[in-house]
Amino acid sequence: MATKVLIVGVDAMESRLILDWIEDGTLPVLASLKERSAWGPVINSLGMHHSAAWSNFYTGVGAYRHGQFLRTVFDPASYHYSAQRPEPYRVSPFWLRDGWREKLVAAINIPDAPLFKGINGMQVVEWGMHNCHDKSISASSPELASEIVSRFGGDPVGDSFVNERTPAEFGDFRDRLLRRLRAKSDMACHYLASNQWDLFIAVLDETHSVGHQCWHLHDPAHPLHDRQLEAELGDPIKDVYVEVDRALGRILEHADENTTVLFLTDLGMGPACDGTLVLDEILRRIEGRTPSSGSRWAAVLRSMWGAMPHWIQGVARPLRRQFGPKLHNKIYMNERSQRRCFELPTQDPWSGIRINMVGRESNGRVQPGRECEEFMEHLTEELHRLVDGRSGKPLVSEVIRSCDLDLSENAGDLPDLIVRWAVASPTSIESPTVGRIDPVYSSKKGEHEADLIGFLLATGPGVVPGALNHPVRFEDFAPTVARLLDVSLDDTDGVPIAAVCNSNT
């Protein structure tokens, strides 16, 4: 008997491209799956880092409870920030709850999920993933981790974030991603055939890496688009999407008419040229401050790094990763403590601003209450005055106060203001207060769209093909799987997706 519920997740695969390329025949497996599926958007919580989506998925609760929604954690005593790591057991994954121990579950490479002890089946974490916290595979048993490495090899890609690549290096990067995708589909097929699973989850994430690194090769509207490079290389994003389609085809050979198949993406991708990288400078100018000598040095070091040959960057990258955050914190810590507000890097498609608040930060400069309210209003007005130098269009579409988000006890970790950028490709950033700032292009050429929309295709016994009546949420998947496998799942914020579970009610 085949697997009862098969979930193929794809990280940061843009739904507009999926639909376009289904339409023009580029993705035949997805086209055929859509024909027999209920399909539609999957929505995220606004302003959240994308780790929230997968954490909602495997816990069945919202970000306000599992707390996994930040890129960095800020310490108001020292003004340091550090990367947020996945924390096991704040909320258990649904497969470890009461009543699930009899169900055989495989969970392979769920992004930002830590290794949870006690699974009845297998879990694999960080085998060749875009977001790696430990840079090495771990699995529910050491023997399983060794078996995977000996059968399917190591990660052929490694760190995908490289500032500049030659045409040959872009081609090599694309080829390595394709190799890793094939290895992942081999791995999924191998373990699918090895057991009779109640639930099998495998996530592919080469779409995430190629989107961040190669969007400018795909999108003619991107300011860094290079026609000659495009003619030489083709479209690496399309190549990776086609390979995902093939991988899906191979994986679906392990499903039968009794299998419920969920194909799921968490959020999309678009051009990355917003104001995030210069937000701290914008805030400094709004406050009327000049950069500290430390931050001027940091800018010099950044431009020196960008000018280094790739081979030196490659050799130096482990050192940079190890010492860079500490050096960064050291340079900026003193400056942050003197300012009224500063940038807090938290969400990928959004930007964060932390107010240096008396009584919360150790050297607070803004009194809570009326003064803080007026300051946040002032910042919001100034941010709305920023325009794109070429078109004159506003750069900021929305400034959200995190206190308006429902995050209960986790709200204190967020920035106080969350900025949503309106213009994807500014030529320069201007306002009467800020003056003119040229945009900075990071190693990311693509970025997640601020709407954070994912995509679902669901097929199986009793599922009626066609567009869903309303979007689903990531916390709906745990109760949906529970209903499909006839297991109880208490204490969830989601609801079973009716279009998927109709025959099981």
Name the one range near Zn ion by CB under 5 A: 55-63, 168-176, 347-355, 368-376: 347-355
Based on CB atoms, which residue is closest to Zn ion, 207 or 480? Answer: 207
Based on CB atoms, which residue is closest to Zn ion, 97 or 130? Answer: 130
Based on CB atoms, which residue is closest to Zn ion, 3 or 45? Answer: 45
CB atoms within 10 A of CB 351: 28
Contacts of 216 (CB under 8 A, 6+ apart): 222, 223, 224, 225, 226, 271, 445, 446
Based on CB atoms, which residue is closest to Zn ion, 83 or 316? Answer: 83
Q: Which of residues 384-443 bind Zn ion (CB under 5 A)?
A: none
- Rounded to whole angstroms, the Cα distance separating 168 from 174 reads 10
What are the φ and ψ backbone dihedral angles of 448, each rounded to 5 degrees? -65, 140
Binding mask 298-337 for Zn ion (x = CB under 5 A): ----------------------------------------
CA 461 to chain centroid? 31
Based on CB atoms, which residue is closest to Zn ion, 71 or 254? Answer: 71
Q: How far is the CB of 51 from Zn ion (least distance, A)?
A: 10
- Rounded to whole angstroms, the Cα distance separating 478 from 92 reads 12
Q: How far is the CB of 131 from Zn ion (least distance, A)?
A: 7
Name the one range near Zn ion by CB under 5 A: 71-79, 223-231, 319-327, 344-352: 344-352
Nearest residue to the partner Zn ion, using Cβ: 348
Residue-wise burial string across 308-346, b where 16 or more C-beta atoms lie within 10 A, e elsewhere? eeeeebeeebeeeeeeeeeeebebbeebbbebbbbbbbb
Q: How far is the CB of 208 from Zn ion (least distance, A)?
A: 6
- Rounded to whole angstroms, the Cα distance separating 399 from 395 reads 11
Based on CB atoms, which residue is closest to Zn ion, 239 or 348? Answer: 348
Q: Which of residues 80-109 bind Zn ion (CB under 5 A)?
A: none
Q: How far is the CB of 245 from Zn ion (least distance, A)?
A: 21
Based on CB atoms, which residue is closest to Zn ion, 259 or 346? Answer: 346
Q: How far is the CB of 347 from Zn ion (least distance, A)?
A: 10
Q: How far is the CB of 132 from Zn ion (least distance, A)?
A: 13
Name the one range near Zn ion by CB under 5 A: 115-123, 168-176, 197-205, 340-348: 340-348
Residue 230: C-alpha distances to residues 131, 217, 233 (Å): 27, 6, 5
Q: How far is the CB of 269 from Zn ion (least distance, A)?
A: 8
Q: How far is the CB of 448 from Zn ion (least distance, A)?
A: 6
Q: How far is the CB of 212 from Zn ion (least distance, A)?
A: 6
Q: How far is the CB of 211 from Zn ion (least distance, A)?
A: 8
Q: Which of residues 435-494 bind Zn ion (CB under 5 A)?
A: none
Supply angle C-alpha 120, 126, 128, rounded to 5. 130
Count of CA atoms in the C-beta half-sphere (13 A) of 407: 22
Based on CB atoms, which residue is closest to Zn ion, 85 or 470? Answer: 85
Supply angle C-alpha 154, 159, 160, rounded to 5. 115
Residues 246 and 185: beta-carbon distance below 8 Å? yes
Total residues binding Zn ion (CB under 5 A):
1
Based on CB atoms, which residue is closest to Zn ion, 186 or 451? Answer: 451
What sign results for the dihedral spanned by CA atoms 141, 104, 475, 36?
positive
Nearest to 81 by CA among 291, 337, 315: 337
Amino acid identity of residue 338, one-letter, is: Q
Name the one range near Zn ion by CB under 5 A: 162-170, 346-354, 356-364, 495-503: 346-354
**SS3 at position 237:** helix
**SS3 at position 134:** coil
Q: Which of residues 20-49 bind Zn ion (CB under 5 A)?
A: none
CB atoms within 10 A of CB 150: 8
Based on CB atoms, which residue is closest to Zn ion, 18 or 481? Answer: 18
Based on CB atoms, which residue is closest to Zn ion, 37 or 213? Answer: 213
Q: How far is the CB of 336 from Zn ion (least distance, A)?
A: 25
Binding footprint of Zn ion on the chain (CB under 5 A): 348
